[in-house]
Structure 1
Amino acid sequence: MEPRVLTNEVKGEGSPLVLLPGGLTGWVSWASYADSLASRWQTVRVQPIHNELGSSGERGEAGYTAAIERDSLLMTLDDLGIGTADFVGWSGGGRALIEFALAYPERVRTLTLVEPAAYWILDGLGEPDPEVAHLNRFFHGLAGQDVSEDDLAEFCQLAGLASSADKARDNAHWASWVPHRMALSWGSEQADRPERSVDDLAGVSCPVLLVHGNLTADWLKRVVAVLDERLPDTRVLELPGDHACHLENPDAFPAELERHLVR
């Protein structure tokens, strides 16, 4: 598999603001914010390859790596004529943006990372966590496989979207998650573990807004805490809610994002 220009949607005018989604539902998660943000920024929603192909029912390919994800974003910016931009990433999108900012710092004005799923950071610190180890075994075990609704329910629990697998099905968003479940089959070890060390994080020199929910999984809070410790220029925002806290706070999150961008 080779990197390629990503499916994208551009709205509004002004300074570019690029939105990267999480690993399940993809760019639909940013649709409502893209509309409102486009009144002030040139808002760009991108659909990563794993979201596009997974949501269409295709199994993950072994050749899909963090480098392909990173360089596909670069090709997309070049195709759109965007030199430097502000970037917002949720979950897997946040993990991808850390890698992008390390590889191409000159293209990044600011970062906003909402609970980035960069659990490689905890492994790199030598902090064994049973929950993270379970997540690794589960997620990597789905690579290239058919993903069942039971698998999806367990993912929702591990990712902090539900307090238990049983309760995941009671979530108001369950029906919208189900059609995208095959995107989880793209989460191979090569895709979610860039060849980086924790010391490399100091290379992210741009201003970074780190966001987490007060009810989210402890390991995700720990990732945010480590990034706050290691990155040179950060601010941490805690919002009420879980792994989707930015979506659960449609007034507070855009206000804080705007504060960060105009800083």
Structure 2
Amino acid sequence: MSIRNSRVAVGDLCFEVNETGDPAHETILFLHGSGPGATGRSNWERILTDLGDRFHCVAPDMIGFGDSSHPVDPPQGMSAFNDLRADALLGLLDELGLGRVHVVGNSMGGQLALLMTLAAPERIGKLLLMGSGGAPTTSVSPGLAHLREFYADPTADSLRGLLTEFVDDLEPLTGTIDAVVADRMTYVVRDDVARSHRASFNPHAPRRVFTEAELATIPHPTLVVHGREDRIIPLEASFYFADNLPNANLFVLAHCGHWTQIEHREKFESLLERFIAGVL
């Protein structure tokens, strides 16, 4: 199934939207993570094409990523920038005429899914958090440090090295990694993309952590998914979410890093479909 692309304005901002499936079906909103050059398509392309015959799948580039808007004077720090992103995503649902959607969030996308749910719980059906950030972990992994400081050496070799940190077993994914590097470098070299990355990872800005009290107010059915060998976000982060979201289940995949949907695509799709169907 081919992916449809469109430009959707939300106030002064504009989203690049990747979409498959019939809007009359249940909608799944896929939110990508924060890697250099990340886009909705590079994170979710195979998922969109595989599930588009059964669901309405929407995967925008987040504000500050890809071909969506890059504010000239962006909020500083992931917390402030994500507040803007989450608000814009709710506006995107309005512009697309979508009342209630299921949300899948990868890494930074998991944080955005939670922010959207806290702000407008009636708009969200089920939540799947995959290697989500926003837990009160104290350590910063070498992979996450590399991601944050990427623009100290924004080269293809550096990006390839970073992306190898995202997976547990590189060998079967070498071709995939090479393709992702080639695609993402077209964005990495852009000044607006670099500006948004530096703003998101401003080291002097405060960090956003979801408190136990906040998470307790989210009754939505939630599936927390994490790769056991994740070297970007520690497994303990997903234990925190599973412990504190009232209706969360946790699924840990063995021999899997930070990219569940790419390393174990068929398992991920099965988990997602069964979760939405209410059998998981």
Residues 12 and 39 in structure 1, CA contact (< 8 A), matched pair in contact too: yes
Match of 1:256 in 2: 271
Structure 1 CA distance for aligned equivalents of residues 199 and 240 of structure 2: 26
Task: Evaluate the alpha carbon distance shift between residue 230 and residue 3 of structure 1 in structure 2; reply closer, same or farther with a 3 A threshold.
Answer: farther
Match of 1:244 in 2: 259
Deviation sequence 1:82-106 (CA, Å, 0-9, x none): 0110011112211211211111111
Greater CA drift, 244-253 or 193-202:
193-202
Residues 156 and 162 in structure 1, CA contact (< 8 A), matched pair in contact too: no
- 2:98 equivalent among 82, 88, 94: 82
Match of 1:176 in 2: 180
Task: Evaluate the alpha carbon distance shift between residue 223 and residue 6 of structure 1 in structure 2; reply closer, same or farther with a 3 A threshold.
Answer: same
- 1:63 equivalent among 71, 75, 82: 75
Residues 66 and 194 in structure 1, CA contact (< 8 A), matched pair in contact too: no
Match of 1:117 in 2: 133
Task: Evaluate the alpha carbon distance shift between residue 211 and residue 19 of structure 1 in structure 2; reply closer, same or farther with a 3 A threshold.
Answer: same
Structure 2 CA distance for aligned equivalents of residues 70 and 229 of structure 1: 24
Deviation sequence 1:56-77 (CA, Å, 0-9, x none): 9x89954261111101101110
The answer on 1:217 being equivalent to 2:226 is no
Residues 66 and 193 in structure 1, CA contact (< 8 A), matched pair in contact too: no
**Structure 1 unaligned regions, length at least 5:** none
Deviation of 1:175 after TM superposition, in Å, equals 4.6
Structure 2 CA distance for aligned equivalents of residues 83 and 63 of structure 1: 28
The answer on 1:96 being equivalent to 2:112 is yes
Task: Evaluate the alpha carbon distance shift between residue 67 and residue 61 of structure 1 in structure 2; reply closer, same or farther with a 3 A threshold.
Answer: same
**Structure 2 unaligned regions, length at least 5:** 1-10
Structure 1 CA distance for aligned equivalents of residues 250 and 107 of structure 2: 16
Match of 2:201 in 1: 188
Structure 1 residue identity aligned to 2:84: I
Superposed, 1:85-164 pairs within 5 Å as 85-118=101-134, 121-123=135-137, 128-129=138-139, 131-132=140-141, 141=149, 147-149=154-156, 151-152=158-159, 155-156=162-163, 160-161=166-167
Residues 261 and 268 in structure 2, CA contact (< 8 A), matched pair in contact too: yes
Structure 2 CA distance for aligned equivalents of residues 141 and 148 of structure 1: 12
Residues 101 and 125 in structure 2, CA contact (< 8 A), matched pair in contact too: yes
Deviation sequence 1:213-253 (CA, Å, 0-9, x none): 12212842111010001100111122232111222222211
Deviation of 1:115 after TM superposition, in Å, equals 0.6
Q: Compute the RMSD of aligned alpha carbons.
A: 3.4
- 1:45 equivalent among 56, 59, 80: 59
Percent sequence identity over aligned pairs: 21
Structure (1/2) with the larger helix percentage: 1
Aligned length: 246
Structure 2 residue identity aligned to 1:19: F
TM-score, structure 1 normalization: 0.78
Task: Evaluate the alpha carbon distance shift between residue 97 and residue 251 of structure 1 in structure 2; reply closer, same or farther with a 3 A threshold.
Answer: same
TM-score, structure 2 normalization: 0.74
Match of 2:3 in 1: none
Match of 1:27 in 2: 40
Deviation of 1:23 after TM superposition, in Å, equals 1.8
Structure 1 CA distance for aligned equivalents of residues 161 and 133 of structure 2: 16
Deviation of 1:78 after TM superposition, in Å, equals 0.3
Greater CA drift, 234-243 or 69-78:
234-243
